[in-house]
Amino acid sequence: MHLPTHFFLSWAVAEVKPLSFRDRWLVAMTGIAPDLDGLGIIQGVESFQKWHHTFGHALPSGICILTIAILLSKQKSLVPWLCLGTYYLHILCDFFGSGGPEGSSWPILFFWPVSDVAYYSPYQWELNSPINITITILAILALIFLGARRERTPMELFSKSLDQKIVEVFKRWTPNWR
Ligand SMILES: [Zn+2]
């Protein structure tokens, strides 16, 4: 799936319970961390296609990401589990929702570099399919609802004042949701 969709879904998971700033960003960032292997796009499409869905989406890096989350989290009884959730939600979303055009399938090399076996989903749908668009819209609605309820949005990372202005808009949009 596209990176923004992964982020919106991870943010929704991070806001399931009221968490500290550090903990909710740990949960949210764990949900997009697998796509670090997509940074090959900087070198070009060929590099991107060679490396994307390899080391970032594999079990060893998942263990590393979760270890970092366990070490850095404040609420250790909950946050590592939420990180586990966002990490595997990302893998599942890609496994099912990252198909290429004209029926081509994009596998995940889950045990890379130990094994080069590529795992293909028999039910994979296209990256730009209506299913992914629907999931993205639902995740954005969750972000709006949670923004009004928790009184914060991902904008908090960049500007507290702009974040609060967005929260006020979300509250006006959702007078009966909270
Ligand atoms: Zn991914």
Q: What is the DSSP string of the chain?
A: --HHHHHHHHHHHHTSS---HHHHHHHHHHTTGGGGGGGGGGT-HHHHHHHTTSGGGSHHHHHHHHHHHHHH-SSTTTHHHHHHHHHHHHHHHHHHH-B-GGG----B-TTTTT--PPB--TT--BTTSHHHHHHHHHHHHHHHHHHHHHT--GGGGT-HHHHHHHHHHHHHH-TTT-
What does the pLDDT read at residue 105? 83
125 Cα: distance to centroid of ligand 1 (angstroms): 15
pLDDT at res. 177 = 65
Whether the CA torsion 18, 143, 70, 88 is positive or negative: it is: positive
pLDDT at 106: 82
**At which residue do the structure tokens 């594999």 appear?**
58
| pLDDT tens, position by position, 94-153 | 999 988 877 778 888 889 888 889 899 888 999 999 999 999 999 999 999 999 999 999
Ligand 1 midpoint to CA 111 (Å): 15
> Ligand 1 centroid to 35 CA: how many Å?
5
CA of 143 to the centre of ligand 1 (A): 20
Q: Report how far ligand 1's centroid is from the alpha carbon of 176 (Å).
A: 35
Report the share of the chain in percent with pLDDT over 70.
99
Q: What is the pLDDT of residues 52-78, one digit of tens each?
A: 778 789 999 889 988 999 999 999 999
For residue 178, the model assigns a pLDDT of 60
pLDDT value, residue 33: 93
Indicate the range of 3-12, 28-37, 48-57 predicted with least confidence. 48-57
Mean pLDDT for all residues in the chain: 91
Residues 6 or more apart whose Cβ sits within 8 Å of residue 127 = 1, 2, 97, 98, 99, 100
What's the gap in Å between 169 CA and the centre of ligand 1?
31
List b or e across 50-79, with b for residues whose CB sees 16 or more CB atoms inside 10 angstroms.
Answer: ebbbbbbbbeebbeebbeebeeebebeeeb
Residue 90 identity (one-letter amino acid) = H
- State the distance from the centre of ligand 1 to the C-alpha of 117, rounded, in angstroms: 17
More confident of the two residues 171 and 56:
171
CB under 5 Å of ion ligand 1: residues = 34-35, 94
Which residues in 9-28 are b (16+ Cβ under 10 Å) and which e?
bbbbbbbeeebeeebbbbbb
Q: How far is the CA of 172 from the centre of ligand 1 (A)?
A: 34
Residue 7 CA to ligand 1 centre (angstroms): 11
> What separation in Å is there between the alpha carbon of 40 and the centre of ligand 1?
13
